[in-house]
Structure 1
């Protein structure tokens, strides 16, 4: 293996001097070294690039940071210049598959059908409604295309209409820091009220009086959700009342309303425990009552029915169960079983209706939907025929209805929205995502296979490829994963991905530990002091795909973003010769330093996910895998790194420091590129098509390495 890796490394070095990557005579930027000593737990570490956080911290080297990021951008542009025509071709190709003039499936709420629609050539959308029936005249509530004019980034969210249908609150972020200002619009007159509420999550909830609004206030520095405030229309912002303040800085908080409209809920939740408070929505000046005081290592979520509360909880139930209690008796001693715990089934969520309960579950790594009839206690499951798919309840805002909306998709099936009658058990397809120009589902194949992890655990892999691909090792393969926070990466369709598949790539998703695909235990085996399982699982999947001849050494690529970017950094250190190229998007690669800095947004919320490095054991374990800490003087694969200057989730300086240190220490001639978007944040561009330019960049990088010219 050592000899083979050396041979392949030489072949790679020759390949990169081809016309598709312009590396001749171009000098990669070298960052200034300014040693900074970290001293904790009797461990002294010199960080040469700590100064790069000065733009975020508004320190003395802020301008030097911007200068360095611009030089990296110039270098990336120069190296990828031969791919510019291909990038434009890919962008136009992917854009052409999207119907520019389109409309979402309308949903009925309180006498109005709501929907969004898009127009030819426009980046955003219009939020609209029609009264009583779909052939009524259209009312444009918000024209986001017009509102976004002049902004490089524009995000509107949290559309919330008052119970009397006359007012609407919504949040706007023009910086891409996920820090929203809430506005209120009179839907009768079109007036935008002066009640502007800054530094919020963007979401808000109306009380029944049509003038009281609850919202989540954020800390302006850490961006933590700290308070739930109550605002009364027409009053000064300084007069807003804090109805709840979170004392645990490891928890996230939010406020919402039950589907039947009877209760306002405040939820505080961390990785390990949660707490819910409730208030009748017709008593906005009342005091919120605790549903059940938070319990150590117990999560619970509350759903209101007409005659009882339902509680989804992991209390003595690792994969969660559903309990019930009377409306006036909410503490734990009054909880009674509704759906018992099952070792092989994870209960994800419940969606309430007057006569039915829809339960989203996960079994054998696949999502499924169970229907419970609350009148006769019958239960059954919806049936789906593919080996790997995703199903979920979609927009179901009406309480008194027997119709369920659900979404269905797979790696080969475009997103399909169905309406299902829970009485007659008949479904109708309301809309399937159109692929403009034509798309033949049968031209592609999907599989679900299992790799064996280093400890013998079976790791699911979902794959898709164009028919005709031979399993002889010659096909290039892109392996994607996330593997954190219990977030499951389910197999879904993506029309942009066709540009990858049609050029001979196999696309695979590794459902590694750290997600929740195989149940709660799957998550717990990939977090905290088990985090390294996430990385070794992914590496095992890479080896297995080579063993099964889906690809071969020299044609295997990896991609991940955010916490998945941490995964990319770890595998680059742990087994660099396995990957011909790595795409790391907004990567969380400086784990120790970030988790030691409580002034960085979201740090304290993450202690239950990664550990608190102020504790010695957590520090040393974290240090053992943190990509930035473990860069060595050795060969690394080709790497493309992307980030955003205004990223609030993973600050720009993490990938910038990582690239700078890699440049200094790596011993190969493989390309290392850093692309910083100077106007966007964690999610990239906000426009409907602009994000495709990022995908085109990623694909062009892969195609250049594979000598694919068009």
Structure 2
């Protein structure tokens, strides 16, 4: 039976490949441009593709889209089936678990057929009258893309700042709504940072961050008074160093408005202003120092400080108000531990809650400040993700936290920190007959080529064979210290139920194994990220989880860089690769400081104007290292308005690959002409992009319907 199936699969796949060969692939014009850096010359034949308004460029992108449609025409029905299947698992009429802030309970809900959330609240109790603050479906009408970037309610509960993006460039327009009357005030403030704003206690003064429309860096903080012309807003702070990212918010205690500046994981600085004194001056909590990162939580008359000062994995300290700049006044609360990474924290009237990482897994630690006792919550699965939820109320003994695993849908719990009782408030409802008992998860470690122990989490159906015959999708990100935790994905079931194994490689560049794990996967150690992924791939093949003709790889953004690097290093290992919004033209992008995010990324990748970093980047940059050789089947996706990775990076990469690859494997580029880095904005429309990715892979293993 297996032999017959394999023959059928091979025949169907060869048919698909033969059909792809007969179709005429687009060919981008070659227009050589000489680029000289540090005395070294490069020739970029496709540099001109960065001309977004050039009709020739748009024509080429559309031609690539049309070619993709032709190649995948045999599985168009499968793609639609996958979309309906994934959509069918979603409970269309759904509601989040309410949280209480002030006298109101806040929640979001979806209606049947609705693409966007409706933001609501009830006063006094959950039996109160529902007030609709923002109806995302109504607000999105007339827009191909729409996103509410966040909102904040004033202290008197009557007004709300909100930010909206209709282009997907992450340039948000700030508006103000009267929640009592429904009136949206005439003030329109463009080019702001979504979600970074704060009310003062007077209910009429607000602060927000202005972004540079070219670099998309937030660099100015303004004060606005309700009812005045935004052109008269007062500049209260300007960030002079374009390598710092800025954030703005209100402390949990509501006492302070905070401006946070972060130098991409190497330096932090906070400025504070008492919310009751909006015309006052922001004061520095502790001046920035290279190599020092810290986070703060205000509590009563002191601050808790999560800091890496003499503590690579961070420790917890406290300092009285008014003495924050005096490091001798800082007192240690939780010491540094070499095997535990202190990730985050929350503070309650009688409890301190810490989010920690150990052996690659997340933990929640609850400390009773009265009894000085502590405990770790027990989750009981080999691979999972748990995190501190949104807890706006100080005066409670109930902690809200989230939990999920590769087999357990996203769950929200309330935990009584005194009685130790946990209550499941909501678990994601997966329709279509999902039964977690049909699936198995595993977690193990792979020894990388330099001896590092790389964690791997994977999931599959119980009836999936582990004899090398199963297709497997290996996913990773591996940059910025972002940890790819083993959470639940209902869309993933469409692969698992068709015999796929899904594996997450927790490679260096993330922070799963602590701060050193991140440091060993950035700058001049970036190649560890790529090597780890390839070494895991080889392990999965050797141990018969899959075979090289059934192994697929996927990554997006910086994970797309990973995809480009692994197919240059070991193309023979992979049947197919999905590179979503991939950062593949590393050297050219990092040399252009006008491109969004470039300057803030120097501490992640290095500054190529310095020869040491230029040479190292050049040695792994996927675009610069394309060679005349056989590459795996490849699906590349991008968005015309992408603010994080400009569309021309994947477009240039595909053009160069098409000119140089030596085999007839599929090479497909899909450009969403209306979206940006995150893809489509609606909850259902986003599924179409996933369906495309899955159809691409399933087509290659012979699944047609």
Q: Partner residue of 1:4?
A: none
Question: In structure 1, how many angstroms separate the alpha carbons of the residues matched to 2:448 and 2:171?
Answer: 40
TM-score (norm 2): 0.97
Q: Partner residue of 2:29?
A: 32
Q: Does 1:505 align with 2:505?
A: no
Question: In structure 2, how many angstroms separate the alpha carbons of the residues matched to 1:685 and 1:603?
Answer: 24
Contact residue 319 and residue 330 of structure 2 kept, 8 A = yes
Question: In structure 2, how many angstroms separate the alpha carbons of the residues matched to 1:679 and 1:709?
Answer: 29
Question: In structure 1, how many angstroms separate the alpha carbons of the residues matched to 2:623 and 2:177?
Answer: 47
The count of aligned residue pairs is 695
> Which structure 2 segments of 5+ residues have no match?
1-7
Q: Partner residue of 1:329?
A: 323
Contact residue 52 and residue 657 of structure 1 kept, 8 A = yes
Q: Partner residue of 2:310?
A: 316
Deviation at 1:14, TM superposition (A): 7.6
State the secondary structure of the residue aligned to 1:156.
Answer: strand
Question: In structure 2, how many angstroms separate the alpha carbons of the residues matched to 1:373 and 1:99?
Answer: 38
Deviation at 1:15, TM superposition (A): 6.2
Deviation at 1:170, TM superposition (A): 0.5
Q: Does 1:253 align with 2:246?
A: yes
Contact residue 22 and residue 82 of structure 1 kept, 8 A = no
Q: CA RMSD in A?
A: 1.3
Aligned counterpart for 2:89 among listed residues 71, 85, 97: 97
Contact residue 17 and residue 664 of structure 2 kept, 8 A = no
Cα shift readout 1:425-463 (whole Å, capped 9, x = no counterpart): 111000000011221111000000111111011100000
Q: Does 1:153 align with 2:129?
A: no
Contact residue 477 and residue 550 of structure 1 kept, 8 A = yes
Question: In structure 1, how many angstroms separate the alpha carbons of the residues matched to 2:156 and 2:372?
Answer: 35
Deviation at 1:375, TM superposition (A): 2.5
Q: Does 1:264 align with 2:276?
A: no
Deviation at 1:19, TM superposition (A): 4.4
Question: In structure 2, how many angstroms separate the alpha carbons of the residues matched to 1:666 and 1:13?
Answer: 22
Aligned ranges for residues 643-682 of structure 1 at < 5 Å?
643-682=638-677
Contact residue 251 and residue 257 of structure 2 kept, 8 A = yes
TM-score (norm 1): 0.97
Question: In structure 2, how many angstroms separate the alpha carbons of the residues matched to 1:320 and 1:202?
Answer: 29
Question: In structure 2, how many angstroms separate the alpha carbons of the residues matched to 1:480 and 1:427?
Answer: 32
Contact residue 17 and residue 666 of structure 2 kept, 8 A = no
Contact residue 274 and residue 298 of structure 1 kept, 8 A = yes
> Which structure 1 segments of 5+ residues have no match?
1-10
Q: Partner residue of 2:342?
A: 347
Aligned ranges for residues 42-57 of structure 1 at < 5 Å?
42-55=39-52
Contact residue 78 and residue 695 of structure 2 kept, 8 A = yes
Task: Name the CA shift for 1:294/1:526 in 2 (closer, same or farther; >3 Å).
Answer: same
Question: In structure 2, how many angstroms separate the alpha carbons of the residues matched to 1:37 and 1:228?
Answer: 40
State the secondary structure of the residue aligned to 1:700.
Answer: helix
Question: In structure 2, how many angstroms separate the alpha carbons of the residues matched to 1:572 and 1:95?
Answer: 32
Q: Does 1:392 align with 2:383?
A: no
Contact residue 51 and residue 57 of structure 2 kept, 8 A = yes
309-318 or 393-402, which moves further after superposition?
Answer: 393-402
Contact residue 148 and residue 164 of structure 2 kept, 8 A = yes
Question: In structure 1, how many angstroms separate the alpha carbons of the residues matched to 2:613 and 2:248?
Answer: 33
Q: Partner residue of 2:220?
A: 227
Deviation at 1:510, TM superposition (A): 0.2
Deviation at 1:422, TM superposition (A): 0.8
Deviation at 1:402, TM superposition (A): 1.0
Aligned counterpart for 1:239 among listed residues 200, 210, 232: 232
Contact residue 153 and residue 679 of structure 1 kept, 8 A = yes
Deviation at 1:374, TM superposition (A): 2.2
Question: In structure 1, how many angstroms separate the alpha carbons of the residues matched to 2:330 and 2:275?
Answer: 23
351-360 or 621-630, which moves further after superposition?
Answer: 351-360
Q: Partner residue of 2:426?
A: 431
Contact residue 475 and residue 554 of structure 2 kept, 8 A = yes
State the secondary structure of the residue aligned to 1:220.
Answer: coil
State the secondary structure of the residue aligned to 1:627.
Answer: coil
Q: Partner residue of 1:171?
A: 163
Q: Partner residue of 1:76?
A: 68
Q: Partner residue of 1:6?
A: none
State the secondary structure of the residue aligned to 1:698.
Answer: helix
Contact residue 324 and residue 336 of structure 1 kept, 8 A = yes
358-367 or 197-206, which moves further after superposition?
Answer: 197-206
State the secondary structure of the residue aligned to 1:489.
Answer: coil
